[in-house]
Amino acid sequence: MKELKNLNSLNNKKLLVVVPVNKINDVYLNECFYSLAQQTYKIDLLVLTNGLDEDQSKMLESIISNPTVSVFSKNEEENTEAKNITSENKLNYTIESTDNNSFASIFNDAFNYAVVNGYKFYSVVECEDVLDQNWYLNFDKYSTSKAEHHGFLPLSREISNGNFIGFFNEASWMEGLAEVSGTFDLQLMMRYNCMNVGGAVFNVESIKQYSEVDGDGRYKPMKENIKISFIYEFFLRMIYNDLKFFSIPRMGYEHRIDFVTDYYNTFSSKIPKDLLNKSAENGGMLQEEYKFWSDSAKKEYFFDEQRNIEYKPLK
């Protein structure tokens, strides 16, 4: 990772927001970057790209420079019409490329950029998702009043193909599930895989303590050799090591899931609903392999460094 010399910090190196992009969907990208431009707490933005050609790169930069969304309203004749709105706020951003193509490795890239560039906190946002305009302002307030915590999660709306299907990151507030309301604990997490990293804000120095360091000096807070359950293992390990994660009781993030896709895009953390029905060529896997990786999270979180684990099909 290198120093982001062309990024002028707007928040005194407190927060770096990272958005990974490996495909162009202009509607999703405009909505995502518009929501970032509208943040009432100004952010420093790093966009990490993988596999984009020259034309796609130009389109991406055009979107980031002037994110535009469509809003629908009724005119004087009571007819619904669309109106395009371009953000008046400009993003303070820089774009870097990466050769990594899995979400775990991208998450680690984001972390290392935060380390090298001296940020106190970092956050990863997936490029299909959108944030409430006050999310990072709420984080800033709670990180001050709850300084003993090491990470802050937004209440998240789960949206599948445009339809609301539920909430996420809310389990720590449900009566009787967490020892301390709002704070995730190991007992809760062993019962439910109920935390998501989208939009979450992590303290860099705290995460660094329980991250593997490879021979090149690169930190690996998320284990890159675990499939499917790498986020679950990450949270289990950090909580096992007494890091505290607080779910801020404010709606802050919209997590968008297109459950039925042509292939499993490992660049994203989102697991397709039809994963078990996909061919191996399209990233699918058998039920027994899915179970193997799910079970692995509950075995590997005791170890800060990734071990040599491998799925072997039953004969």
User: Which of 262 and 172 is assigned the larger pLDDT?
Assistant: 172
- For residue 214, give every residue at least 6 positions away whose Cβ sits within 8 Å of its Cβ, in sequence order, or none: 220
The predicted pLDDT at position 137 comes to 97
The predicted pLDDT at position 297 comes to 95
- Per-residue pLDDT of 84-134, as tens digits, reads 899 999 999 999 999 999 999 999 999 999 999 999 999 999 999 999 999
Sequence ranges of the domains in the chain: 15-69+84-300
- Per-residue pLDDT of 180-206, as tens digits, reads 999 999 999 999 999 999 999 999 999
The torsion defined by the Cα of 95, 97, 102 and 108, in degrees rounded to 10, comes to -70
The torsion defined by the Cα of 270, 276, 278 and 279, in degrees rounded to 10, comes to 120
pLDDT of 66 above 90: yes
Q: Is the pTM of this model over 0.75?
A: yes
d(CA 143, CA 134): 14
- Per-residue pLDDT of 6-40, as tens digits, reads 888 888 899 999 999 999 999 999 999 999 999 99
- Per-residue pLDDT of 268-296, as tens digits, reads 999 888 888 888 888 888 899 999 999 99
Alpha helices, DSSP H, located in the chain: 26-37, 54-65, 103-116, 135-145, 186-191, 204-208, 230-240, 287-300
The total of other beta-carbon atoms located within 10 Å of residue 261's CB is 17
Which CATH superfamily hosts domain 15-69+84-300? Spore Coat Polysaccharide Biosynthesis Protein SpsA; Chain A (3.90.550.10)
d(CA 162, CA 104): 26
